[in-house]
Amino acid sequence: MQQESVPASVKAERETAKKNDRRGFLQKSLLSGLSLGAFTFASVEDTLAYSTQKVNRSSNPSDLKITDLRIAEVTGAPMRVPIIRIDTNQGISGYGEVRDGGSARYALFLKSRLLGENPCNVEKLFKKIKQFGGHGRQAGGVCGVEMALWDLTGKAFGVPVYQLLGGKYRDYVRLYTDTAKSQDKSVYASRMKGRLDKGFTFLKMDFGVEMVKDIDGAVINNQIIDGSQWNSESMSYGMTQHPFTNIQITDKGLEELVDYVRVIRETVGYEIPLAADHFGHIPINTCIRLGQALEKYQLAWLEDLIPWHYTDQWREITTSITTPTLTGEDIYLKEEFIKLIDARAVDMVHPDLASSGGILETKRIGDYAEERGIPMAMHFAGTPISFMANAHCAAATQNFVALEHHSVEVDWWEDMVGGIDKPIANEGFIKVPDKPGLGIDINEEVIEEHLLKGEKLFAPTPEWDEDRSWDRLWS
């Protein structure tokens, strides 16, 4: 049977009629329950727009814009920490923090460079502001902003931050805990045992030259440590880098320090890792002697024996002892970590996410180390906000070992946030949250109780709205 040939004009008329019939059906269906005396609609699109006018549109990431940046500076968690809040035009906020001891201004002067930007463009904005960071606390503003941007992005898309990093390798992140030292070996051992009783399975102890400086015949050139040989604060022991102090620990001093570690190790046993930190400003030859003397106690690592930037000296120490070496908490961006890793100068890397460049940069540091067979531990001291940023990064990084927890004794520390299983640190681990963003809610009442004296909770910061400089780094 021959198929009917229909002119194009007739086909167009039929299609129009079908569309009008469907439109009329929808209009009748939608309007049947409404009072036509109260509402007049030109089209079904008007009806739909009216019906959905109160729908929350904060899940529209492409239209998200940064409208404000504010600070709440808390103290005692464990030190002074400026918390960052970035607000948007859709009523959602993201949170980050400046590293402990850093200035709130490190974040505030970035505000003018962020207003009006879409926070979901995390990498773009990081590249825009990363020039304003530096090694140590100077990176705190850039890193805190980066945390808040990821928090916002996760909330906008409705996914946890670890998912934005490519997914997770683990559901639980292992913690290691630092412990306040004591000159009394038995007191310190009791404190370490208390950590085990709380469920922690990875410990770190602090000890060093300061603990034996007052013992006769233990330290050569010990006048430098107590300051009696310095004429100004700029030349103090604390401001003099390790290679330049000319301190030496004698055999007697080494025996005392080694015995200190012996008591701790015998108390906590050999079933769990035990790391060590804070050795004092001692030159590399003394570092090597100390490292060799401690080898029989199988420490997990010796941390920050000398400043991180002495790559060749780090390699000399590392190749001279069998205990693993580790550094990195003051390094900003991956480039300097790459130098240490490529030189095989250390056995492990140890970035602090709040000063290394933030969540993504820290993952990149870990990934680079992993490709070269080097594990990554993570330094941390701050509030639960940065703690959760670290947890997401650790979950998404394959060669992760353990994350530091520095606020075990601060009883209100976990109360700063909600919306997460408590206790946050549970039996030596933290469960990686699956809620959007960092996975926590902010408890402003608790934060307000612990603000730095004279500070206000997330007070307006209009004085930082305007641009003040020419930021381009090239001509």
Report if residue 376 sits inside a domain.
yes
Report if residue 14 sits inside a domain.
no
Report if residue 402 sits inside a domain.
yes
Three-state secondary structure string covering 158-188: CCEHHHHCCCCCCCEEEEEECCCCCCCHHHH
Q: Residue 68 is part of which domain span?
A: 61-158+459-464
Residues 279 and 206 in one domain: yes
Residues sharing a CB contact under 8 Å with residue 330, sequence separation 6 or more, in sequence order: 135, 136, 308, 352, 355
Residues 132 and 194 in one domain: no
Q: What is the pLDDT of residue 234?
A: 57
Longest dimension (CA), the chain: 116
Residues 343 and 366 in one domain: yes
Q: What is the pLDDT of residue 31?
A: 42
Report if residue 453 sits inside a domain.
no
Report if residue 132 sits inside a domain.
yes
Residues 283 and 408 in one domain: yes
| CA distance linking residue 48 with residue 264, whole number of Å | 70
The list of the chain residues with pLDDT below 50 reads 1-6, 10, 22-23, 25-42, 48, 50-53, 55
| CA distance linking residue 406 with residue 235, whole number of Å | 30
Residues 358 and 289 in one domain: yes
Q: Give alpha helix (H) positions in 77-179.
A: 105-108, 122-129, 140-157, 161-164
Report the relative pairing of strands 441-442 and 417-418 from DSSP bridges: antiparallel
* pLDDT (tens digit per residue) in 297-340: 999 999 999 999 999 999 999 999 999 999 999 999 999 999 99
CB atoms within 10 A of CB 147: 31
Report if residue 354 sits inside a domain.
yes
Report if residue 96 sits inside a domain.
yes
CB atoms within 10 A of CB 214: 12
Residues 154 and 176 in one domain: no
Residues sharing a CB contact under 8 Å with residue 431, sequence separation 6 or more, in sequence order: 171, 172, 421
The model's pTM: 0.86
Token pair in block for residue 28: 């009748």
Residues 218 and 149 in one domain: no
The number of folded domains in the chain is 2
Residues 379 and 256 in one domain: yes
Residues 135 and 247 in one domain: no
Residues 86 and 136 in one domain: yes
Give the CATH number, domain containing residue 70. Answer: 3.30.390.10
* pLDDT (tens digit per residue) in 283-294: 999 999 999 999
Residues 390 and 353 in one domain: yes
Q: What is the pLDDT of residue 6?
A: 47
**Spatial CA neighbour of 156 closest among 244, 89, 201, 105:** 89
Residues 274 and 335 in one domain: yes
Give the CATH number, domain containing residue 193. Answer: 3.20.20.120
| CA distance linking residue 329 with residue 354, whole number of Å | 9
Burial status of residue 321 (CB atoms within 10 A of its CB: 0-12, 13-18, 19 or more): buried
**Spatial CA neighbour of 246 closest among 228, 223, 226:** 223
Report if residue 444 sits inside a domain.
no
